[in-house]
Amino acid sequence: MKILLVSGAALALVLVLPGCGKESPAAKPVSVPPHQHIPPHHGTPVVLGNEEYHVELVLDSTAGELNAYILDGELENFIRVQQPSFEVVSSRQGREETLIFKAVANNATGETAGDTSQFKAQADWLRTDKAFDAILKHLVVVGNNYDEIKFNFPKGNDTDEKTK
């Protein structure tokens, strides 16, 4: 049996030589797209908690209605809640107005007041005023309480959406 002894200098030369004269291509930084949520109705996303859930607000200015859809953290799946209603206090033109969102039943999905993901508020001023600051007063989603959630309509409060 033969043992090959290689000096440290020879080994270093063998390891360095294959790279001599050749430049390795520079590593290109990997571009990761920002995390985005796409509201299914193209409405205004309002994040609840640490993106556990969202409320998507969709304005129908012709009818003076604002629809609210309760969705998961990715704005993909509808989440039914048991509340029959919830309030949003809007601040517009120096006045506060309370919007009362009432549960919407849907025969196609089997949703009922007290077990639905859709709510609707009506106010004549929604026909003309399409921007306002607001506070969602209290909403319970899957046992989690969300209180005093500040947002702007139509900007929302979801920082991920502001990067689009």
- Degrees to nearest 5, angle at CA 153 with 115 and 95: 100
DSSP H stretches of helix in the chain: 8-16, 159-162
Residue 13: per-residue pLDDT = 46
Entry pTM: 0.76
Write the pLDDT tens digit of every residue in 75-120: 999 999 999 999 999 998 889 999 999 999 999 889 999 999 999 9
User: Does the pLDDT of residue 143 top 60, yes or no?
Assistant: yes
Amino acid letter for position 1: M
Distance (Å, whole) CA 80 – CA 90:
24
Residues listed for the chain: 164
The least confident of 37-46, 51-60, 121-130, 152-161 is 152-161
User: Chain-wide mean pLDDT for the chain?
Assistant: 84
The fold adopted by the segment(s) 36-155 is Immunoglobulin-like (2.60.40)
